[in-house]
Amino acid sequence: MNIRRSLYSADKDRGRVAAAGPGIVLALVATIILTGQVAPALAGQLLEDVPGVRALHWYIGTLRLPSGGLLTASGDAKVVVGADAAALQQLLNGAGPPPEAYFRVKGYGTVQYFRCGCGYIQADDWQCINADDVLASLTRNYPDAQGEDVLGWAIPPHYDPSTETITYMLHARDDDVGEFYDGIAMVLGRYGVEIIEAGTRKMDYTTTLTMLRRGVAAFRFAPGYRYSDHAPSDTISPNHIAKAFLLNAFATDLAQSYTDCRISVAPQPRFTSQG
């Protein structure tokens, strides 16, 4: 899979697939984001100077997303959704299914929002995640999946049960743009997960972290779609939080061999607790 990075937003593509059980495969994310290479004639321009970007419908305020999320932009932030998000995807990358929305801060970069209608994910086995094991898996799998090299964790994976959110940031290298940082948040909801990915033109740690924090703060699930609104009749994801994270993070070999450490009969669990 030849996946390349946009020079504007460092938006990285991923195929995130969740195994539902033996012989069954379900998509963890509703789209596989395939970013193409930005046209050489556009290289070096600011996002607002790219032909066609100003003609899109940029909104300030709170918009409802198909996932049941509410996205709020104010001040120096604006968002595009729906057909405009699809158009922006084409303008920047030329290929790939679009996200639900782009959240843009002028002069910094963009945050993308992707919907995963994969069912209610039970957050009861996060202690099975070991950041060192995951990083080793990413080092093995990223060159094949991404055409990129992983250098390490900028922020190790962490799950905050008070916000039902997983956060992590990778430090990696790409032949086209050099070193970059990729910030990800996975917000659990009643019917699935919202994947929030920060990308910046500068691609430095501080800016990426700022954009990720702003992107997460701008999003919330509406009443009835929140993780706490779960009802017994809801569809339950076959993957609990640990395996869902491994799949989304591209730790594919760990995901395939995953053993729930809570029920392991081995003297030591397969994955030890991480923060």
Domain ranges, ordered by start, for the chain:
17-256
Is-contact 274 254, C-beta < 8 A? Answer: no
Looking at every residue in the chain, the average pLDDT score rounds to: 78
pTM of this structure: 0.79
Is-contact 108 183, C-beta < 8 A? Answer: no
Nearest to 134 by CA among 118, 155, 148: 155
pLDDT in tens, 101-118: 999 988 778 899 999 999
pLDDT above 70: percentage of residues in the chain? 73
Report d(CA 159, CA 274) in Å as an integer.
Answer: 9
Q: What is the pLDDT of residue 89?
A: 81
Most confident of 44-48, 132-136, 145-149: 132-136
Other residues' Cβ atoms within 10 Å of the Cβ of residue 178: 9
Q: Is the pLDDT of residue 196 over 90?
A: yes
Report d(CA 144, CA 142) in Å as an integer.
Answer: 5
The whole-number average pLDDT for the span 248-257 is 87
Between 262 and 170, where is the model more confident?
170
User: In 156-257, which ranges are continuous DSSP H helix?
Assistant: 205-217, 241-248, 252-256
Between 5 and 56, where is the model more confident?
56
